[in-house]
């Protein structure tokens, strides 16, 4: 199997991680692009990224840790982008995503073992365990917000409601269709949206979110059984994407990271 083929299978998930880490599709993709470009001119890095998923993330971490990737201004200014959230992400990047959140994302969203996450981060496993605990404690100290849940499966919807409330957040509404979601947002503005892709009446969670973002700029976490359909690089993609069936710790980490990069703000 060629190097390109070996890397291609892991690349969509690295892009998901990069976006969750930076809070921005534009910035996350810039770091991924820099990782691949660095590997092209370094034989050691090129061999490593083709060795496996953890090795690819390890090389990415080296680039991310340098934090010297320039994001083209024309990409940030893209009128098709969610510039309000993009600006918030750029502002928070000046402080860099804490190591604790990196450890949490790797062991939850990306489902690495503690030993694998330690390799990615070039840390000892005991350090990673301590960092994950630190992240959990940090999440518990975060301010609360209101959450809109867009999900057509009643059991999953209730599971998400229980999880959201256990984190100290409020649920401002639960919708099973695009029209229900829009009606809720017209009555009250959520601080976060959790959205399925395929809804009860055949409508799309993507379309529902597009409706919402015309009213208010709000962090969105998509939850889907088919992440590969969104991780194509062919269109604007969700910054936060959780795969079904999900672990509660994965959703918890995604919520934490989404709120870390800013709450809702009305569009101009």
Listed in sequence order, the DSSP H helices in the chain are: 3-22, 25-40, 43-49, 53-66, 73-76, 83-93, 99-107, 114-121, 125-141, 154-166, 178-187, 205-213, 248-260
111 and 153 together in one domain: no
CB 81 within 8 A of CB 38: no
191, part of any domain: yes
Orientation of helix 3-22 relative to helix 53-66, angle to 10°: 50
* Pick from 66, 71, 52, 69: nearest CA to 11: 52
pLDDT score of 92: 47
The CATH number given to whatever domain includes residue 221 is 3.40.50.2300
268, part of any domain: no
135 and 229 together in one domain: no
The answer on pLDDT for 96 being more than 60 is no
Quickly count: other Cβ atoms within 10 Å of residue 190's Cβ. Answer: 26
**Structure confidence at residue 21 as a pLDDT band (50, 70, 90):** confident
**138 CA to centre of own chain:** 18
How many folded domains does the chain comprise? Answer: 3
137 and 167 together in one domain: no
Phi, psi of 218 (to 5 degrees): -145, 140
The CATH number given to whatever domain includes residue 72 is 1.10.1740.10
129 and 174 together in one domain: no
170 and 207 together in one domain: yes
80 and 90 together in one domain: yes
Q: What is the DSSP letter of 204?
A: B
218 and 245 together in one domain: yes
pLDDT digits (tens, 9 = 90+) for 58-75: 999 999 887 655 555 444
pLDDT digits (tens, 9 = 90+) for 205-214: 889 998 998 8
78, part of any domain: yes
Name the residue with tokens 């957040």.
Answer: 169
267, part of any domain: no
108, part of any domain: yes
33 and 54 together in one domain: yes
88 and 188 together in one domain: no
The answer on pLDDT for 264 being more than 50 is no
Least confident of 72-86, 97-111, 154-168: 72-86
4, part of any domain: yes
28 and 11 together in one domain: yes
Domain that holds residue 11: 1-94
32 and 65 together in one domain: yes
**Structure confidence at residue 204 as a pLDDT band (50, 70, 90):** confident
């Amino acid at each position: 199997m060629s190097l390109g083929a070996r890397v291609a299978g892991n690349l969509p998930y690295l892009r998901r991680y990069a976006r969750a880490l930076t809070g921005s599709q534009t910035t996350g993709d810039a770091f991924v692009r820099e990782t691949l470009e660095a590997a092209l001119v370094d034989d050691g890095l090129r061999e490593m990224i083709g060795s496996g998923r953890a090795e690819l993330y390890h090389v990415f971490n080296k680039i991310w840790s340098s934090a010297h990737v320039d994001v083209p201004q024309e990409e940030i200014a893209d009128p098709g982008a969610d510039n309000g959230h993009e600006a918030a992400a750029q502002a928070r990047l000046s402080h860099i995503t804490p190591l604790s959140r990196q450890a949490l994302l790797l062991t939850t969203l990306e489902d690495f073992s503690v030993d694998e996450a330690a390799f990615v981060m070039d840390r000892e496993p005991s350090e990673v365990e301590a960092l994950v605990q630190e992240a959990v404690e940090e999440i518990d100290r975060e301010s609360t917000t209101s959450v809109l849940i867009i999900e057509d499966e009643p059991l999953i919807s209730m599971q998400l409601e229980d999880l959201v409330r256990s984190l100290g957040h409020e649920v401002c509404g639960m919708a099973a269709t695009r029209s229900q979601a829009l009606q809720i947002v017209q009555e009250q503005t959520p601080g976060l949206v959790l959205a399925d892709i395929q809804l009860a009446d055949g409508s799309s969670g993507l379309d529902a979110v597009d409706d919402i973002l015309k009213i208010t700029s709000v962090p969105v976490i998509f939850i889907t059984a088919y992440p590969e359909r969104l991780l194509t690089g062919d269109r604007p993609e969700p910054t936060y994407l959780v795969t079904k069936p999900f672990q509660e710790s994965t959703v918890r980490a995604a919520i934490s990271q989404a709120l870390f990069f800013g709450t809702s703000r009305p569009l101009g």
